[in-house]
Amino acid sequence: MSVEESDLKLVEKVQRGERAAFDLLVLRYQHKVLKLIMRYVHDATEAEDIAQEAFVKAYRALQSFRGDSAFYTWLYRIAINTAKNALVANKRRPMDYDLDLQDPEQYDLHARLAESETPEGLLLTDEIRDTVNRAIEKPTRGFANRHRAAGIGRIKLRRHCADDGLPGRYGTLTKFFVRARR
Amino acid sequence: MSEQIREQVSAFLDGELPNSETELLLKRLTRDAELRESFGRYALIGESLRAVSLRPCPTVSPRV
């Protein structure tokens, strides 16, 4: 079942009153949404607040979702609008510039936007990726044994990581992720 | 949590789980908090794997 179809299935469950189905949608998309919001807001804590607000809005509006677009497209719009509203509420101009190649003065602006990552943030992002890559490339003895025991089956990369290297708990990972994106 | 269920969670997130297995997995996921936690971890790891570094490559610019 494609991602879009399974999202729709989850949405239908939420519409029938299964709250836990919405948790799955949040778990599936929270990182994407956070990254999206951090294009507008560079403070991680503020971005988390906006992401939370966006998901609450989505939950409240979900009864009217009819699947005309993919769920994530719909959620994406809500998240963008929530982020822009937050900026306006804080009297800051949303960073929503259209690039006009005829206007050289804009080059500098876009260069600054592109370089909003801090060295520390980049390093943390790299650390996460390196850890993931190490976990994939150098499976532990325990993993190798399990792999052999199970036969060479269809085992997904992300499970290698979950089992064999990434630091402990989900919450910790989320914090790393948010800090890395700051 | 059995290997099979974890594999199903992973396949579900990739949009590759057969329709026939999806309904049962979703029922389990909505009832089992521990399984949902794994679901969240897998989603995060998938996102990390897809992340592309936007850092400019320092070795290219002097050659251009």
Q: What is the pLDDT of residues A93-137, one digit of tens each?
A: 655 555 555 555 555 455 445 555 666 666 677 777 777 777 766
Please, which pLDDT band fits residue A22 given cuts at 50, 70 and 90? very high
Q: Among A37-41, A76-80, A136-140, which is the least confidently predicted range?
A: A136-140
CA distance B59 to chain A (A): 17
CA-CA distances (angstroms) from residue A94 to A98, A109, A114?
A: 12, 13, 15
Q: Closest to A1 (Cβ–Cβ): which among B15, B30, B54?
A: B15
> How are the residues of chain B apportioned to helix, strand and coil, as percentages rounded to the nearest 5?
70, 0, 30
Please, which pLDDT band fits residue A140 given cuts at 50, 70 and 90? low
Interface with A, mutate which of B38, B44, B53 (most A CBs under 10 A): B44
Residue A169, both tokens: 């708990």
How distant is the alpha carbon of residue A78 from its chain centre? 14
Q: Residues of A with CB below 8 A from B1's CB?
A: none
At A146 the pLDDT is 53
User: Look-up: residue for tokens 């499976």?
Assistant: A139
Q: Residues of A with CB below 8 A from B36's CB?
A: 20, 23-24, 27
- B→A contacts (Cβ < 8 Å), by residue, are 3, 6-7, 10-15, 17-19, 22, 26, 29-31, 36-49, 51, 53-55
Residue B36 near residue A18, CB atoms below 8 Å: no
Quote the CA–CA distance of A27 and B56 in Å, as a whole number: 31
H or E element in which residue A179 lies: helix A170-181
Q: Residues of A with CB below 8 A from B3's CB?
A: 146, 150
Across the interface, whether the CB atoms of B42 and A158 are under 8 A apart is answered: yes
Residue A51 near residue A79, CB atoms below 8 Å: yes
Q: Residues of B with CB below 8 A from A162's CB?
A: 38, 41-42, 45
Residue A156 near residue B11, CB atoms below 8 Å: yes
CB within 8 A of B48, min separation 6: which ones? A128, A129, A132, A177
At A131 the pLDDT is 77
Closest-CA residue to A158 (of B44, B25, B35, B33): B44
Across the interface, whether the CB atoms of A122 and B43 are under 8 A apart is answered: no
CB within 8 A of A122, min separation 6: which ones? B53, B55
B32 versus A180: the higher-pLDDT residue is B32
All residue ranges of chain B with pLDDT < 50 are 53-54
The answer to pTM > 0.95 is: no
Residue A150 near residue A119, CB atoms below 8 Å: no
Query: Rounded mean pLDDT of chain A?
Result: 73
Across the interface, whether the CB atoms of A27 and B13 are under 8 A apart is answered: no
Whether the ipTM is more than 0.95: the answer is no
